[in-house]
């Protein structure tokens, strides 16, 4: 609840490295952005494939 996953795509960065861009909508009162990143991207097994996570655009609803 409070999280809606949207479209995703792989974008080439260079030298064969790609970044994954994911669109999502979150309700700020229901979901903590910091805990979302920690829970989904920096725990096993995802942390074997993810080096960093950057927020490109942010709008609160």
Strands (DSSP E) found in 1-61: 3-14, 17-26
Phi-psi region of 15 (alpha: psi -120 to 50; beta: other; left: phi over 0): left
pLDDT tens for each residue of 5-55:
889 999 999 999 988 898 888 888 888 888 888 888 888 888 888 888 888
**Domain-wise residue ranges, the chain:** 3-48
Whether 25 and 18 have beta carbons less than 8 Å apart is answered as no
pLDDT at 14: 93
pLDDT at 25: 87
Q: Quickly tell me which residue has 């910091």 as its tokens.
A: 34
pLDDT at 49: 82
pLDDT at 15: 94
């Amino acid at each position: 609840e409070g999280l809606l996953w949207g479209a995703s795509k792989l974008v080439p960065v260079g030298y064969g490295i790609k970044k994954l861009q994911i669109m999502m909508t979150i309700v700020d009162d229901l979901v903590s952005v910091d805990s979302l990143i920690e829970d989904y991207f920096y725990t096993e097994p995802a942390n074997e494939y993810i080096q960093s996570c950057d927020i490109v655009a942010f709008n609160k609803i």
